[in-house]
Each structure stands twice: as C-alpha cells, then as structure tokens.
C-alpha cells in the first residue's frame, strides 16, 4: 500500500467574521493560502521531504503582507519588527528556532539552518542574525518589514493604552482592531511525505505593541511547534502564553502516544478542553503518519488549508467552514 502524504497550513486564528470581509479581501487571503499550500504539496508529490514542503509553504506566507510573519509582521511598542520562527523534523526530533530577530527576511529559513548547521535548538537576537547571515540566509534592511497597515495598528494600540480607565479591555492594547476583532497572527505548516516522515514549521511577528522582548509560543519547541514520526506534526496559533503554559503542540503528541487518542481526539481535547477551561484562545493544525488531519480552533475563524494524496484539497477561513466567496 502506497504511503499517503499531505500538507496542512494556517495563517492565524481569531475573530474572523464573513461580515467584516469583502469578496476581494477573501479572495486575496484564499489565493495566497492556496499558493502556499500548492507549493508545499508540489514538493511532496515529487517525492520531496516534509521539511522542504513546510519551509516552502511558510516562506510564501512570510513574504506576504497579509499575514503577521515576515513581511507582514506587526510592530513592537518601540516601533520595531521582532520575528520568531521554529521548525522540527519528526524523523530525528531535531529542531531549530530563532527569536527576536529584525533583519532576517525569512525567519523560517534561519530556524532550519540553526537545526541543521549548529549544535543548538534556539538562537536569539543579533547572534541569530549573525549566524543566519554566515549560513547564507537573506538579510534585509529593517525597512523591508514596514507596512502602513501594521504601523497604523501600532499607533492605535499606543493611543488606546493611554486611556486611564481601570476596566478598559486590555485586549485592545494588543489587538488594535478592538476586542471584537482579535487576531492571533502566526503562520505555519505541517506535512507528511512519501517516506512517511513528518515535519512542522511556525513563524510569527508576535503581538502588536509588545514590550520588553516578549516571546510567544511560535519559536518554542513543544509549545508552538512539534513533530514526531510516531504521532503527529503540529503548528499552533493563538494567545501564546496559554500555548506555552500547556505545551500545546507536544501535548497533542503525548495524548496520542500515552493516551492512545486519535489525532482528531487529541487535537480537539487540547484546544477545546484544556485551553478552553483557561480561556486560552487559538487553534492548531496537525497531521499524522496516515495523513489524517486536524484543524481545531476555539475562535470565530482560522485561515487554513489542507491538501492530501487522498483527494482532500480545500482552503477555509470561517468557523462554519465557509470558504468565502
């Protein structure tokens, strides 16, 4: 029996409502998700590795200003872009990550060279940038990451934060669209190749108006990213602090390995029970060694897509599964 293969991607979760999206916006998002999905699938179809597939898919999302990663990264309180990313090989359990970088065009590529060209798992800040440059990763001026939309979001977040109200909803500080339109901006991909190997990758620009070098779950192995051939490959998106505390990506694998849960049972349990009880918001994408997939989320939407050798091929945005116009 031929080994099935496939890829799943996400572009972030949050309060993503059809009423707030124009047909043109929907098309822009779905087209870019489909582009990333097909790029990764094409690699798998030709017998390429799951690692190559997830990296290729994430690079496309990092290069798009639509998503909070790479080119579309949000600004910190100091008006800078701080990027985080991680990648993991399910065959070897090797992993690589970078955090708090400012000049690496594609942080996911830097995460991979940390995994493959160093003895380490995580590098941060200037050191990570120096290593990435030495390894041939594309380095850009910080102005490359500037987008007007993200800059305006920062100004609004700073403005809102100055309002001296004891009971102001603090989510509006982090999500300048307001508490009714919270978005957890991260991109990610998980894949299973024809050799039966799994891989996962995640990249983010963090939270708008974040301070003090805050780092979320995306670059933390086991929290935002995890892959093990025996169980699953997982990439998360959401309120990072909750995903770190609950080691969400690894917990899906642990539920499968020790609790004997199926992929869908494990993923659903972690997102809709463990996190839900703590009011932790977000979602994840996952694939197992049989090309079963899971994409649970407890928000109103999650940009997501899946394509497998079994004929599953779709891109979705909203909670009810509507694909949009």
Predicted local confidence at residue 321, as pLDDT: 53
Q: Is the pLDDT of residue 184 over 80?
A: no
- CA 192 to CA 198: how far, in whole Å? 5
State the average pLDDT over residues 71-94.
95
pLDDT tens-digit series, residues 233-255: 999 999 999 999 999 999 999 99
The model carries a pTM of: 0.92
- Give me the catalytic one of 15, 76, 186, 225: 186
pLDDT confidence band for 173 (50 / 70 / 90): very low
**DSSP string covering 52-71:** HHHHHHHHHHHT-TTSSSGG
Annotation says 186 is catalytic: yes
Q: Is the pLDDT of residue 181 over 80?
A: no
Tokens standing for 147?
């987008």
């Amino acid at each position: 029996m031929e080994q099935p293969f496939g890829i799943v991607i996400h572009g972030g979760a949050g309060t993503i409502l059809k009423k707030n999206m124009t047909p043109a916006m929907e098309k822009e998002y779905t087209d870019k998700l489909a582009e990333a999905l097909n790029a990764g699938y094409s690699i798998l179809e030709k017998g390429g590795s799951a690692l190559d597939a997830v990296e290729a898919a994430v690079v496309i999302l990092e290069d798009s200003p639509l998503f909070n990663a790479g080119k579309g990264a949000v600004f910190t309180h100091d008006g800078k872009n701080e990027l985080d990313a991680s990648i993991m090989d399910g065959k070897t359990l090797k992993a690589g990550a970078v955090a708090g970088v400012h000049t690496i065009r594609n942080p996911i590529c830097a995460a991979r060279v940390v995994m493959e060209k160093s003895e380490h798992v995580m590098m941060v800040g200037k050191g990570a940038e120096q290593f990435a440059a030495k390894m041939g990763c594309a380095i850009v001026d910080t102005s490359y990451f500037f987008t007007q939309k993200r800059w305006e979001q920062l100004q609004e977040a700073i403005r809102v934060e100055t309002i001296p109200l004891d009971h102001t909803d603090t989510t509006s500080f982090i999500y300048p669209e307001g508490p009714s339109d919270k978005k957890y901006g991260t991109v990610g991909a998980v894949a299973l190749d024809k050799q039966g190997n799994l891989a996962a990758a995640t990249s983010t620009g963090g939270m708008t108006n974040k301070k003090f070098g805050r780092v979320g779950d995306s670059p933390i192995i086991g929290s935002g990213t995890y892959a093990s051939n025996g169980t699953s490959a997982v990439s998360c998106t959401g309120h990072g602090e909750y995903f770190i505390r609950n080691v969400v990506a690894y917990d899906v694998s642990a539920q499968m390995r020790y609790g004997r849960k199926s992929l869908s049972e494990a993923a659903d349990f972690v997102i809709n029970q463990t996190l839900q009880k703590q009011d932790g918001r977000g979602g994840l994408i996952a694939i197992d060694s049989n090309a079963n997939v899971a994409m649970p989320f407890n928000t109103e939407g999650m940009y997501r897509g899946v394509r497998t050798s079994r004929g599953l091929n779709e891109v979705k945005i909203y909670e009810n599964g509507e694909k949009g116009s």
